[in-house]
């Protein structure tokens, strides 16, 4: 079935002909991924993490799609994102992960958002603010069970537990964050799950959330009352080393600006690090590291060379990626197969975000969140 294509929210350029690259985002695939995660969680609610502009893919269209599918709880990084989200999703619970500052309290009331309280200092400021304004919007309490990033230490959280016996205690959600969920056999997973279970018993009656994308696949012990997937919604594999249960969401294409021929022994690109071992043909593509493709993908090491799909065939990068351009070796394609103005597919066509990340020595999250800053955005399946 053909998917309808709609233009994105304004993001700079509006015409595909004015940009070198096109990023296609399949909103129907995002919804399908959310539903897959719902099935994995069975009777547990599935929320959605849409921070970092929905991992770079556009907070507003992604959140609207998920809300229409039935998602009722969203997580963002900051109040700016919460404000954008609330303008399009009226009734959902919105949690702000980066916590509470007293001078921003009025915005939480205005937006109807809930801070994630990450320290006893924040909690004291939040309590003072709530008392002053008589607001009952609620907050999440994050307990640090081993990430050693944000969160209240376990012993301090335990000391706060009697609070839930009081009226209007204000804790709408108890949460923690798994550090190694993508490594199912890592001993820290079991330790964090057990610690959170103990804390959860002290906060009876308060909904709890522990499982991120990979945590959802650790089983019932990690599920609690609310799963909060992020990267898996956008097609990143939450089960590394196993088949990806998620549908692909993005396709990144670049316009071919020129086809050029070079002789054996000639070099390509900055630093002259790639030398033609034979007479070669190159496609020069209008994408580069300014479009979110790490320079580490450069075609230097034959054992770790990224590829693009051109005319249905995988072709290796040649030389260093520059800010706006990539050279791709198309020598093995029949002469005349590729023309100026054709597209090269950098993600899609059998090339996943995780494939690129592995070659670049990073993770799919980083690749995903850097895409589309200059590209023309097309949303499918709206």
Token pair in block for residue 226: 């609310």
| Residue found by looking up tokens 């070198």 in the block | 20
In angstroms, rounded to a whole number, what is the distance separating the alpha carbons of residues 340 and 310? Answer: 12
Token pair in block for residue 258: 């020129």
Give Rg (Cα) of the chain: 24
Q: Give yes or no for a contact between 49 and 230, defined as CB atoms under 8 angstroms apart.
A: yes
User: Pairing relation of β-strands 139-144 and 152-153?
Assistant: parallel
Please tell me what DSSP assigns to residue 41. Answer: H
Catalytic residue (one of 55, 261, 270, 365): 270
55 flagged as catalytic: no
Catalytic residue (one of 24, 51, 55, 65): 51
Provide the H-helix boundaries in the chain.
27-41, 51-55, 59-69, 79-88, 105-111, 120-133, 154-160, 187-202, 353-360, 364-370
* Closest C-alpha to 138, from 163, 172, 113, 105: 172
277 flagged as catalytic: no
The residues assigned a catalytic role are: 51, 270
């Amino acid at each position: 079935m053909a998917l309808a294509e709609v233009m994105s929210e304004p993001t700079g350029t509006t015409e595909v002909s004015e940009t070198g690259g096109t990023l296609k985002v399949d909103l129907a695939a995002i919804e399908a991924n959310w539903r897959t995660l719902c099935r994995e969680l069975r009777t547990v609610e599935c929320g959605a993490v849409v921070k970092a502009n929905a991992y770079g893919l556009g907070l507003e269209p992604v959140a609207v799609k998920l809300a229409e599918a039935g998602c009722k709880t969203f997580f963002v990084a900051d109040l700016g994102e919460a404000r954008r989200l609330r303008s399009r999703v009226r009734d959902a619970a919105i949690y702000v992960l980066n916590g509470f500052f007293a001078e921003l309290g009025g915005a939480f009331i205005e937006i109807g958002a809930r801070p994630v309280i990450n320290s006893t200092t924040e909690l004291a400021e939040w309590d003072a603010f709530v008392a002053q304004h008589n607001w009952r919007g609620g907050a999440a309490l994050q307990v640090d069970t081993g990430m050693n990033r944000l969160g209240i230490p376990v012993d301090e959280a335990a000391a706060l537990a009697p609070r839930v016996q009081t009226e209007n205690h204000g804790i709408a959600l108890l949460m923690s964050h798994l550090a190694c969920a993508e490594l199912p056999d890592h001993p820290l997973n079991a330790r964090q799950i057990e610690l959170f279970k103990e804390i959860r018993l002290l906060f009876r009656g308060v909904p709890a959330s522990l499982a991120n994308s990979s945590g959802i696949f650790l089983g019932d012990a990690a599920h609690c009352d609310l799963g909060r997937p992020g990267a898996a919604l956008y097609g990143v594999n939450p089960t590394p080393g196993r088949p990806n249960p998620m549908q692909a969401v993005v396709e990144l294409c670049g316009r071919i600006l020129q086809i050029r021929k070079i002789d054996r022994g000639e070099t390509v690109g900055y630093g002259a690090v790639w030398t033609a071992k034979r007479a070669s043909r190159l496609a020069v593509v209008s994408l580069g590291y300014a479009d979110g493709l790490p320079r580490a993908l450069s075609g230097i090491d034959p054992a770790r060379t990224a590829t693009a799909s051109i005319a249905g065939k995988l072709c290796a990068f040649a030389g260093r990626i520059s800010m706006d351009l990539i050279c791709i070796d198309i020598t093995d394609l029949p002469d005349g197969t590729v023309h100026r103005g054709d597209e090269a597919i950098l993600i899609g066509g059998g090339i996943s975000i995780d494939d690129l990340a592995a070659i670049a020595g990073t993770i799919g999250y980083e690749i995903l969140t850097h895409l589309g800053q200059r590209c023309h955005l097309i949303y499918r399946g709206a």
